[in-house]
Amino acid sequence: MKLLTPKIDRDSLFEKFAQIRRDLAATLIERDEEIDLILTALIAHEHVLLVGPPGCGKSLLLDSILQCVGGSKFSVLLTKFTTPEEVVGPVSLSALKDDRFVRVTTGKLPQVDFSFIDEVFKGSSAILNCLLKILNERVFDAGDGIAKAMPLKLCVGASNEWPSPETGKELSALFDRFALRKTVTPIRTHVGRQRLLWERSLTPKLSTSITPMEVEAARRAAESLPWSPEAREALESIIKELAREGIHPGDRRQRKTVGVVRAYAWLEGAEDVQPEHLEIAAHCLWDDPIEQPQKVAQVIAKVANPTGMRINQLLFEVEQLIGPCDIHDLAEAAKAAAKLAEIERQLASLKGNGRLDRARAYVREQLKKLKMASIEAI
């Protein structure tokens, strides 16, 4: 068993992250990718931006994740009237009496481990400028000329809409501070909607928690994961292929992607980075939020994870089958069941990892439900 620090061993640390991942995914509906995104960012020491319509569970997800990490937290909802005082702390009145301008940062963004900034693009210029520096450099000068290192490990920003290219330099610079960015979509599947409507509680029950020290240990462990030659080659091919598609993620973004993929590989329990771990880079390697994310995901899936792409396609077919299927129409239900069984056979023929097993289990469960419902209907 490899020791990271005298107190934290790699296996139990990994198991803690895995447990949190399971606990969150068990309750939050169709938020597996977002959970992975935030945990990866936490391990990679990067920030995350989630954009989605009101009520799609962004706050619930973030609150739940912040609940499982110990350490100090700061949340704020930005409006154009929010003042810098509310984010970085008020000016000290006693210092002002001595003609000194110093902020009291206790409990505010410069002094916390984790922060959640809701409506992150709605702040005034003064706030946005302040965030630019804080998020990038993680240092803050309270006014006394001393730039102090901040403990900030993760900032998650949320918004209902993407900043448009016309909204100016400040917003695009802030947008670029988030290494991982994702559109959160409302629940898509029939099963998911049933759970949303009828499940008694949608608040995750957490069976473990992680301390800031453990986050730091995970970061160091992830940093030491090597990249396999195949994964290196795949990343280089992806960047070339994206350039052919007219997608040119900036140099800083490309560099950060290397660390993000490493962190994801660690979260997946890998000993080294393999091509399939590049899937997470679909949330890093683009600039235009409207046109590019889907293209980037396709290029990455094609180059690095064709099996993952096939699983997604088959799961999509499953939803198309069970969503509109009328189980009281026995002929229709039988047809859907036959197609589901065929999809299960196709999945069985693939070689893969945990995701494949989960997909197969899901299809088998749907098949069972369909058969039971048909029997009951008779």
Ligand X SMILES: Nc1ncnc2c1ncn2[C@@H]1O[C@H](COP(=O)(O)OP(=O)(O)OP(=O)(O)O)[C@@H](O)[C@H]1O
Least distance in Å: CB of 183 to ligand X?
12
Sign of the alpha-carbon dihedral angle for 63, 69, 70, 73: negative
Site for ligand X in 290-349 (CB under 6 A): none
Q: Output 8 or 156, the one with its CB closest to Mg ion.
A: 156
In this structure, the dihedral spanned by the alpha carbons of residues 64, 81, 132 and 145, taken in order and rounded to 10 degrees, is -110
* 206 is a contact residue toward ligand X (CB under 6 A): no
- Residue 202 contact partner, candidates ligand X, Mg ion, none, CB within 5 to 8 A by sort of partner: ligand X
Q: Output 31 or 360, the one with its CB closest to ligand X.
A: 31
- Residue 182 contact partner, candidates ligand X, Mg ion, none, CB within 5 to 8 A by sort of partner: none
Answer for which of 16, 31, 103, 262 binds ligand X (CB under 6 A) is 31
Interface size with ligand X, residues (CB under 6 A): 16
Answer for which of 202, 372, 373, 377 binds ligand X (CB under 6 A) is 202
* 117 is a contact residue toward ligand X (CB under 6 A): no
Residue entry with tokens 């930005």: 78
* 75 is a contact residue toward ligand X (CB under 6 A): no
Q: Output 59 or 124, the one with its CB closest to Mg ion.
A: 59
Residue entry with tokens 């180059």: 303
Q: Output 59 or 211, the one with its CB closest to ligand X.
A: 59
* 26 is a contact residue toward ligand X (CB under 6 A): no
Q: Which residue's C-beta sits nearest to ligand X? A: 57
Least distance in Å: CB of 154 to Mg ion?
17
Least distance in Å: CB of 54 to Mg ion?
7
- Residue 31 contact partner, candidates ligand X, Mg ion, none, CB within 5 to 8 A by sort of partner: ligand X
Least distance in Å: CB of 63 to Mg ion?
9
Answer for which of 19, 67, 129, 160 binds ligand X (CB under 6 A) is 160
Which segment (24-32, 205-213, 287-295, 370-378) binds ligand X by CB under 6 A? 24-32
Answer for which of 54, 145, 229, 354 binds ligand X (CB under 6 A) is 54
Which segment (57-65, 267-275, 293-301, 308-316) binds ligand X by CB under 6 A? 57-65
* 47 is a contact residue toward ligand X (CB under 6 A): no
Site for ligand X in 212-251 (CB under 6 A): none
- Enumerate binding residues for Mg ion (CB under 5 A): 58-59
Q: Output 28 or 88, the one with its CB closest to ligand X.
A: 28
- The residues, any chain, with a CB within 8 Å of residue 329's CB and separated by 6 or more, are none
* 183 is a contact residue toward ligand X (CB under 6 A): no
Answer for which of 29, 76, 127, 314 binds ligand X (CB under 6 A) is 29
- The residues, any chain, with a CB within 8 Å of residue 187's CB and separated by 6 or more, are 29, 30, 56, 193, 196
Buried-exposed string 226-237: b where 16+ CB fall within 10 A, e elsewhere:
ebbeebeebbeb
Where do contacts with ligand X occur on this chain (CB under 6 A)? 28-31, 52, 54-60, 160, 187, 196, 202
